[in-house]
Chains A and B, each alone.
Chain A
């Protein structure tokens, strides 16, 4: 039961959700080899509790193998939880899977689905029909979606003749053509060029804006994408949720005070006693042969005026000044302990 003070049930809710995988054992046709000495189970999700509100665009961020896809598979009724529970649109993924299925759809980046002998339009039609979308409606939506992803001229091309990215775009369309109430996108922009990825992000944002009753859960490795799109983000690693909040709040965690970066012409002084100014939390300077790089963090933001003035009075020439915003990547590195780049997929 949802708490009394929250009248609308969560679109997606998990409670202490866990999933383990049996470690692969080598099999022979006459029987099974006894298991080795490593533990028989691998924990992919470890007590995940999350709640996504209807209308929310929710992001899952995590390094490779964090358990993002595993979580999505459980929510899309493709994988059974090992422990805990999960609800989609208020329905239990284990006992009410049949009722969940008409309401959801899922697309994952790099998926190889589809029939090579069919063309793009026929493929999308087939996967719309299994949701009961009438043919005329399906074609209308297919036209619209192909235009969004820029595949209109490929509508009649066989799937085998598509490039990887084009195939990815076709699958992206597949998710929207059934007009799901809750949509799961697992790395939707994986392997797409910059312009296409941007078009897709813009579309996702607009789709959500036009349909306030829909919910979208997305995983991505692109921090900027999560930052730009998501209302809230959960950072997960090794099957555990490390943090879950709005991107702004997450960023506030790693950087408590607003930070300004100033570049000064060499030979300036007067920056040494900036920390004495009221409202200045900390000031550090690095001297390069051609400039002085100054980082000032402020406990009160208006103090930046006083800082500039103090520098000018001290004879410093300011070459540039910019407010430095923390990125989700900073948050990620702080929480996970390493960047995404250090554990790339092979």
Chain B
């Protein structure tokens, strides 16, 4: 039996673990209503408020973009963050740990799965938002927009992968803390308004959240709006954040495995 190289196994495992989420996308129908129509309603409230105030037209665009990007954030928090916890409870975690596949590959698969399904959702929100509110779309560069988007997702899901191992390590308490942070993060990341209106110091701190930097950069590219920093600085920041989070995720996974093996906590129920 030739043993596959670890890179190949990493990719195979990531692809295999992406599969259940994608299958879910096609097999479960309820998500459409729950996760597309409701966000569009929320967007509408802000859009009408901005229209009533006679705010610049891009502001509606801000809101639509914010709603679309927030679905990724929600997925990272609620989906990916709780994923390892859930996998342990259902008995899959120990099968992954026992297998030769690198855990980071499996976790990447979980992230990719969440990303794929959320991409569909975010696209649905964007399309309906753009059509409903006649958002002008004229980016300075499509390539740059794509780069910023990909890096934002990489940083967001890197953060989510780190959360996933930390949540399993610290249990529900960690999750509660992150839940507490949910609203402040909406505020800080400027989901519904340009983050530049925040006090400068607060805004700078807020860019450590990939959602903030990503949205700020995307708004600059898409709507030529003034941003916190230069777009390329934000691109660098996002790449840096992604790298830091991914390395942290890998470290905490390794630590997690060691500690769980010491404490006998890879399974909740023991046979």
* Distance between Cα atoms of A76 and B8 in the complex (Å): 23
B90 touches A113 (CB 8 A): yes
List the B side residues contacting A104 at CB < 8 Å.
Answer: 98
List the B side residues contacting A105 at CB < 8 Å.
Answer: 98
B263 touches A22 (CB 8 A): yes
A130 touches B16 (CB 8 A): yes
Counting chain A residues whose Cβ lies within 8 A of the other chain, the interface size class is 35 or more
* Distance between Cα atoms of A33 and B224 in the complex (Å): 56
List the B side residues contacting A113 at CB < 8 Å.
Answer: 90-92, 95
A110 touches B271 (CB 8 A): yes
B183: CB under 8 A from chain A?
no
Best-surrounded residue of B94, B98, B176, B270 (most CB of chain A within 10 A)? B98
A220: CB under 8 A from chain B?
no
The residue that B98 contacts in the complex, of A22, A77, A187, with Cβ under 8 A, is A77
* Distance between Cα atoms of A175 and B17 in the complex (Å): 18
When C-beta atoms are compared, the residue in chain B nearest to A119 turns out to be B23
A131 touches B261 (CB 8 A): no
List the A side residues contacting B97 at CB < 8 Å.
Answer: 77-78
B13 touches A117 (CB 8 A): no
When C-beta atoms are compared, the residue in chain B nearest to A30 turns out to be B173
A131 touches B99 (CB 8 A): yes
* Chain B nearest Cβ from A328, distance in angstroms: 21
Q: A121-129, A294-302, A303-311: which one contacts chain B?
A: A121-129
**Beta-carbon contacts of B233-271 to A below 8 Å, as 1s and 0s?**
000000000000000000000000010011110110011
The residue that B100 contacts in the complex, of A22, A111, A114, A131, with Cβ under 8 A, is A131
B98 touches A179 (CB 8 A): no
B98 touches A126 (CB 8 A): no
A290: CB under 8 A from chain B?
no
Q: Which of B78-130 contact A (CB under 8 A)?
A: 90-92, 94-101, 106
* Distance between Cα atoms of A118 and B144 in the complex (Å): 38
* Distance between Cα atoms of A77 and B92 in the complex (Å): 15
B203: CB under 8 A from chain A?
no
Best-surrounded residue of B24, B97, B261, B262 (most CB of chain A within 10 A)? B261
The residue that A80 contacts in the complex, of B8, B176, B262, B271, with Cβ under 8 A, is B262
B261 touches A80 (CB 8 A): yes
* Distance between Cα atoms of A76 and B97 in the complex (Å): 10
List the A side residues contacting B263 at CB < 8 Å.
Answer: 22
A117 touches B16 (CB 8 A): no
A112 touches B261 (CB 8 A): no
When C-beta atoms are compared, the residue in chain A nearest to B269 turns out to be A112
A101 touches B100 (CB 8 A): yes
**Beta-carbon contacts of B150-167 to A below 8 Å, as 1s and 0s?**
000000000000000000
Given contacts A80-B262, A118-B20, contact A101 B99 (CB under 8 A): yes
* Chain A nearest Cβ from B179, distance in angstroms: 13
When C-beta atoms are compared, the residue in chain B nearest to A20 turns out to be B264
* Distance between Cα atoms of A122 and B23 in the complex (Å): 10
**Beta-carbon contacts of A179-200 to B below 8 Å, as 1s and 0s?**
1010000110000000000000
The residue that A115 contacts in the complex, of B3, B13, B20, B101, with Cβ under 8 A, is B20
List the A side residues contacting B258 at CB < 8 Å.
Answer: 80
Best-surrounded residue of B13, B16, B28, B258 (most CB of chain A within 10 A)? B16
Nearest 8 pairs of A and B residues by beta carbon? A132-B4, A129-B16, A113-B91, A102-B100, A130-B101, A101-B100, A80-B261, A130-B99
List 19 A-B residue pairs with CB atoms under 8 Å apart, sorted by A's residue number: A21-B264, A77-B98, A77-B261, A78-B266, A80-B258, A101-B99, A104-B98, A105-B98, A110-B271, A115-B92, A118-B19, A129-B13, A129-B16, A130-B16, A130-B17, A131-B101, A132-B9, A132-B100, A179-B1
> Hey, which bits of chain A sit against chain B, CB under 8 A?
21-22, 29, 69-70, 73, 76-80, 98, 101-102, 104-106, 108-115, 117-118, 122, 125-127, 129-132, 179, 181, 186-187
